[in-house]
Chains A and B, each alone.
Chain A
Amino acid sequence: MRIINRINILICVVAISMLVSCKKSYLETTATDRISEDIALKTTDGCWKLLNGIHRILYTSHMGRQDRVGQGANMMDMDAMGDDITLSSVQDWYIAPYLWYNTNRNQLSALVYFNYFFYYEIINNANLLIDNVKASKGSEEDKKAILGQAYAYRGWAYFQMIQLYGERFNANGTNTGLGLRIVRHSQEPVKPRASVAVVYNLINSDLDSAILLLDGYKRANKSHLNQSVAQGFKARVALTQQNWSTAATMAAAARSGYALMDSVSYMSGFNDNNNPEWMWGSHQQENQTTYFASFFAYMSCNFPSQNIISSPRAMLDSVYRLIPSTDVRWQLWDSTGANLSFPVPKDASGKDVGTRVKFMQRKFKVANPELSIGDLPLMRASEMYLIEAEANAQMGNSAKAAAALYPLAKQRDAAYMLSTKTGTALLNEISFQRRIELWGEGFRFYDLKRLNQPLDRSRHTFYKSYQKSVPAGDIKWQFLIPQAEIDASGKIIEQNPL
């Protein structure tokens, strides 16, 4: 009996030993889906990777939506809200911005949210570089190149946004209207919105820093920013601020070293950033897009997305009719809507299924209709010629303006003769060249706003109720701030006048 008790006690001891705790490391488990903050930005190598991440943001699908595809979405918004593109179906994914309906003046709309969120996302990542690159381990040369691009991105992102959420910049005004919250460092406390003028000051100082830092930097590919891209940004900003001389100088400096493309390249689909004329462009890779989340799933003429099948993008007829048939750009649009040499989406058996409409485009094409990818044209040298021409014309230097325009126009149309126009006529000619050259690349809303022109839809004939016009200077030219921002900032960020 004693023995049994002994056994009992023995079992007790075994039981007790099983009751004891596990090793301390038992509860140490680590997230495997992220790169730790401790190592991410400690070296320039790490900083380069964050910079690459920013390049990728430009064509990343946002908010889980197929139509919010980074910078491509902003470009499509800006054209949909302009007058040069006509949409041909009420079911178009961009019908809301096209109608200016429940979008830019609705604080809950995806358009307002995205264009705000997206650029601040870039700014935060750029700020992380600005905060960390100096102390990181690596060469000074790398640090300069990284910092230069970080400043260029920040300046550019603010510029893209201030034109939407602020009042139009008026060189003769005080520009004290509400601009944007200025964030110079990641995770800094919320401050109220700075004035439009202050935001432009930051943009200019960032771009000036970028131009200095990027001097001599040789980039690996055109998805990165180099000095000429930073100069291009500066030229765009100066043009918007009606600072004509800076615009002209910077545009000329920016485009140096870039050749204009020939007519064959011009018709090849605007989908390859190796094109010599491209100064900046994202390169999309087939396994980095999800199905329809690509600029080319909406803007190309031949990818078989439902949007392209039912609603091909078309050119405003009144502008198209002014293009001489000797101009390569005359071939970009089909005035008949029946020209079978214009590619449209095909079904699996190879039969054309895409709708054809009058003045439909073939500027943007996908190389392989099975894939929605294409490189995103973000800056081309032709734009710099146009900026230089416009700035000179604005200053009254008609001859210089005509001369700046000539290489571009001649390259597109062998029959083009040097313009002898002056004043408004010359400005109109440059504007016409700009509209047909940069069609679909995301400039039109910005151009109308900076030039204080009205939106005129009187020629849009698909359906009568689309006939919308917005007077120059109307309150609608200013986007509302997303409600989410006002809520999350504890109302420190104020709304625009409703």
Chain B
Amino acid sequence: MKTKILSVTIVALFLGAFPVVSDAQQQGPGRSASKPVVDTSKIPIYQRPQKWKEDSSNVRTIEGVVVVAYGAQKRSAVTGAIAQISDSQMVRRPVTNLAEALTGAAPGIQSTLSSGQPGGSPNIRVRGFGSISAGSSPLIVVDGIVYDGDLASINAADVASMSTLMDAASAALYGSRGSNGVILITTKKGSARNKKPAVQFKTSQGFSERMLPEYARVNAYEYYPLMWEFYRNGLVSSQGGMLADKYATEDIKSMLGYNPFNVPDDKIVDGEGKLNPNAKLLYPDDLDWEKASTRKGYRQEYTVSFNGGNETADYYASMGYIGENGYTPTSDFKRWNGRVNANARISSKVKAGLNVYGSSTNTNQTPTSSNAYVNPFMFARSMGPIYPVYAHDATGAYILDDNGKPKYDDGVHTGSLRPFALGRNALAEGLLNVNYLTGISLGARTNIDVALHKNLKFTSNIGLDQETTESYQYMNPIIGDGAPSGALTRGSDVVRSYTFNQLLNYTKRFDGHNIEALIGHENYDRKSSGTSASVRGQIAAGNNLELGNYSTSSEMPNSYSIAKRVESYLSRISYDFNETYFATASVRRDGNSFFATDKRWANFWSVGGAWRISKEKFFQEYVNLPYLNELKLKASYGKVGNDAVGSYAYQGGYMSNNNAQEPGYIYAVIPNKDLTWESLNNLNLGIEFSLFKDRISGYVQYFDKQSTGLVFAVPQPLSGGGTPSGVYSIWQNIGSMYNRGWEASVTGTVLQTKKANWQMVLNASTLENKVTKMPETNKEIVSGTKKLSVGHSVYDFWLISYKGVDPANGDALFVLDPKNTYDDGAPYDYPDKTIMGERYTTTVARAKYDYHGSAIPDLYGSLRNDVRYKNFSLNVLFTYQIGGLAYDGLYATLMSPTFGQAVSADIAGRWKQTGDQTDIPRMDYGRSGDFDGSSSRWLISATSLTVNNINLGYSFEPSVLKQLKLAGLQTYLSVENVYQFSARKGMNVLQSFNGTTTNGFVPRRVYSLGVVANL
């Protein structure tokens, strides 16, 4: 009640601050924005005429205007850091997931390469890594309302612009959710100039394939001798050299299971480990798992839209379809979507709009959990080169099933046993299993604008999004995880979010002064819930997707519901004078239901200013640099937050753990009542310039983001307890970190003639990330290949120091941890060594850990070329990163020989005999866990250049258009994800921000031929 009175008072004071009896009377109610108006300073901002620009679909966009939090702003008035991309940059790219369009869009935006799964999304980070344990993804806002759905549900053709808010001045109005940056997506509106509907038809057809090659691996002929050597070296210590040779020759066939050659089992490798010269492969054509697990993908896309309007109403409507078969036989994506955006001026004072959309998505997904046998990438990459895809008999002939088709080899039924993935075949399993999602996404944005006074406008927005996903996961009874009974898991998940806000806008212009003020209130309510059930024991073939057609429930049915609510008050005041001096200040107060009552409310704020020096008289008169057209300085500072810290961590409790039929629970969550959001103090300094009549323009920015109260899942001593998850931690707001860097963007017109135009955009960013405070009780937190500690970045590698190979015997040498020292000659299996005065161990457990550089590149950015010659256009987008390291775990696996598994071709350079100088240790079955263990050996430069997109277009001549009765016709050829140049063939440097590689879905390259026709 108190807050109620307070807010009423504030509003009343606010209203009292300007003349209620206004000159609106003089202007009268019938005034319309379409009338020519001379004195723009007298007109409320929303009615002010703007420079409209026709985009590709004849939909109006606003030139020189940037979409900002709760409104739009002239570009020249922006005091913060905002990067905006428009429809024209997306129209000819075959974008399935909208996030793909953000890659390389501006300095400060970092993205991974999206997975090859059609519809897959890249991960986006804005200006570094703002959080350690909480979410680091930017907030997505669609048409002014926070959007919790999947970006793959939005048709890129419906999007007019995407703005990325990077600094506090731009993001502070998103308060507790703004610290990771905000992406504002604005969908298209009808143009009031199109009295006759403008129709656009857009289609593209194309195919897709794997973008990156596979790692280089040894072939079938090389494999047997290599594994012989690996096994033999493992026997030497216990058996001596002679016996080791003998046993290795005798046993190698049983170790590897398969004899793919036309020579007897005991004659494959001789006593010295040489392959029998007469050995010829029995099934040489059936060893390519990668080829067998891929196909030519196909992608098609259609969008039809029409729009139009007049002075009192406008509309935009579209319908689209994307159908994409991925390059693996088990992946596809189909999406139908539609959108209608209608706006009406109901009276001179009242405007209202409604924007509704819906999409229906169906997708089969290839399982790509990194080490699962059903993951075809892992399977094909790891499978030794002697194992066939299909089953063969002793003569090498295919074994056929009842239908006369070749049977898949499961490693069992050929009489010998395949040591890797026995009983499994990811390809067969992929075809028999189902991994399917179907989703419906529906939503609406509605708004009403009421001009209360010529300077005052009231706006209310309601937004509703609902996304429902049903999942089907069927595992067949014949082969794999579902054998022998068959299993099904079905799930259903719903995310519903609702936002309601009320805003008052005040604008006033006088004598060159321009004031805009906004106050508002907003509430946000999200509920996510879901259920799932798992059954096994399929009772008959067919109808395998119904729970009832199974005999037993394999797990208790499951459900969840999580409600999150945020209530906010917000305000912003902007001021400028003569379009030369600009200032903004904003404040937002958020209450968030994920935090305890007394930690729930907090204030976020920002201030910003800009100075267009080039507008100053003194500058024009005294400095007088004719080539300098625009020079603007800007600065902003403020505080934003991050509330993505898990749900209800402040509420402790027990979780159910029934013992058969007896009800039970165990200790689960240690509460922290003090938990609250992470906060971020964000500084931005920038300079914008334009030279030689806009031939060259750009900006340089410096940012310093100081995060405090970082949330850590602070690991507790295991001896204090724990839960079956294996994790025992308390969420706490401890820790600080900064992200600092420089960003530069330069747009230059390299060539400009009547016929030709070449524009180039170069973006470059640096990022320095450093942890400045860690939890008192856990000054160091080791996780995977990283260790968090003060003075290091979140992605600094913490690994055992690999020092190379002892030329004497091929042992891997690691720096000995001095704490572990013991006397040489002590009765240990692997005594330490002293070489040239340095102490080494050959055992990972005794080795010393150290920092070994960072996964964060020294410089990253993008290069865009837009070339037009006559009717042709060529656009090329590159992204690059220079410096930084990657920990190539996939390569490590291939360099750590295992019976039955593939081996990297680089193994050729291993230590073989005394005196060999190499970095690759002896292959030794008994020591591989040490020699090839996780260490700095697997780091490699992460410098890379990625060709993201090449697009060649042609626009038809007006004469042709006339004949065809078209307003516009363009055709183009586009290649997405063209290639990545990196330090190692097969390695995807842009798979993750933390610089590690896993067996994910290798990104896809898409070739498309497209047509855009305007009626």
Contact = CB atoms under 8 A, between A and B. Distances in A.
Interface of A: 1, 4-5, 8-9, 11-12, 15-16, 18-22, 26-37, 40, 49-57, 60-64, 68, 89-91, 101-102, 105-107, 113-114, 116-117, 120-121, 123-125, 128, 180-181, 183, 186-187, 190, 220-221, 223, 282-292, 304, 306, 309-310, 345-348, 353, 355, 369-371, 463-465, 467, 480, 482-485, 487-490, 492-493, 498
Contact of B422 (A32, A63, A91, A221): A91
Given A18-B521, A113-B718, A116-B719, 16 more contacts: A18-B460, A19-B520, A20-B4, A26-B593, A33-B560, A49-B663, A53-B657, A53-B664, A53-B666, A57-B724, A62-B724, A91-B419, A102-B844, A124-B722, A464-B251, A488-B716
B561 interface: yes
B654 A489 contact: no
Nearest to A466: B238
A440 to B, nearest CB: 22
A37 B717 contact: no
B484 A370 contact: yes
Contacts of A310: 417, 419, 422-423
A117 B722 contact: yes
A488 B450 contact: no
Interface stretch (B86-94, B170-178, B209-217, B547-555): B547-555
A9 B452 CA distance: 8
A21 B7 contact: yes
B808 interface: no
Most chain B CB within 10 A, of A221, A304, A484, is at: A484
Contacts of B778: 487-488, 490
Interface in B553-580: 553-556, 560-565, 567, 569
Given A26-B567, A27-B565, A288-B658, A20 B8 contact: yes
A28 B668 CA distance: 22
A117 B720 CA distance: 9
Contacts of B272: none
A120 B536 CA distance: 34
Nearest to A349: B478
B671 interface: yes
A488 B487 CA distance: 40
B652 A347 contact: no
Contacts of A291: 481, 487, 554
Interface in B106-153: none
A273 B477 CA distance: 30
Contact of A19 (B11, B235, B536, B592): B11
Given A19-B11, A20-B4, A53-B659, A35 B665 contact: yes
A16 B8 contact: yes
A465 B255 CA distance: 11
B420 interface: yes
B717 to A, nearest CB: 4
Most chain B CB within 10 A, of A16, A101, A107, A181, is at: A16
Contacts of B73: none
B659 A52 contact: yes
Nearest to A492: B717
A451 to B, nearest CB: 21
A68 B565 CA distance: 38
Contact of A35 (B11, B504, B656, B720): B656
A16 B523 contact: no
Q: Is the interface of A mostly helix, strand, loop or mixed?
A: loop
A116 B728 CA distance: 13
Contacts of B719: 116, 120, 123, 180-181, 183, 190, 485, 489, 493
B905 interface: no
A8 B178 CA distance: 35
Contacts of A19: 7-8, 11, 502, 504, 519-521
Contact of A90 (B20, B235, B419): B419
Contacts of B512: none
Nearest to A309: B423
A91 B420 contact: yes
Contacts of B629: none
A117 B899 CA distance: 32
Contacts of A62: 724-726
B723 interface: yes
B717 A15 contact: no
A307 to B, nearest CB: 9
What are the 10 tightest A-B residue pairs by CB atom distance, in nearest-first order?
A124-B721, A52-B664, A34-B653, A63-B726, A31-B648, A53-B666, A53-B664, A370-B485, A53-B657, A310-B422
B412 A309 contact: yes
B533 to A, nearest CB: 10
B51 interface: no
Contacts, number: 324
B25 interface: yes
Contacts of B562: 31-32
A18 B459 CA distance: 11
A304 B483 contact: yes
B55 interface: no
B655 A33 contact: yes
A492 B720 CA distance: 13
16 contacts: A15-B504, A21-B7, A27-B592, A32-B560, A49-B663, A49-B664, A53-B657, A63-B724, A120-B722, A124-B667, A180-B719, A286-B552, A289-B554, A290-B554, A306-B373, A465-B234
Interface of B: 3-4, 7-8, 11-12, 15, 20-21, 25, 29, 231, 234-235, 238-239, 247, 251, 254-255, 373, 412-413, 417, 419-424, 450, 452-453, 458, 460, 477-478, 481, 483-487, 502, 504, 519-521, 523, 536-537, 551-556, 560-565, 567, 569, 591-594, 597, 600, 647-648, 651-671, 715-726, 728, 777-782, 819-820, 844-846, 899-900, 925-926, 929-930, 933
A348 B432 CA distance: 13
B663 A22 contact: no
A490 B774 CA distance: 13
Contacts of B671: 37
Given A19-B7, A369-B484, A348 B477 contact: yes
Contact of B15 (A12, A27, A345): A12
Contacts of A22: 523, 567
Contacts of B781: 487
B845 A89 contact: no
A465 B928 CA distance: 13
Nearest to B817: A498
Given A370-B537, A464-B238, A35 B655 contact: yes
A26 B722 CA distance: 33
Contacts of B655: 33-35
A49 B484 contact: no
B4 A498 contact: no
Contacts of A369: 484
Contacts of A61: 724
B893 to A, nearest CB: 15
A448 B651 CA distance: 46
B726 A117 contact: yes
Contacts of A490: 777-779
Contacts of B844: 102, 106
Contacts of B536: 370-371
Given A19-B11, A90-B255, A482 B659 contact: no
Contacts of A102: 844-845, 929-930, 933
B556 A288 contact: yes
A89 B726 CA distance: 28
Most chain A CB within 10 A, of B523, B561, B662, B669, is at: B662
Contact of A121 (B422, B452, B478, B721): B721
A353 B423 contact: yes
B3 A56 contact: no
A257 to B, nearest CB: 23
A101 B556 CA distance: 37
Contacts of A488: 715-718, 728, 777-778
Contacts of B3: 20-21
A223 B662 CA distance: 10
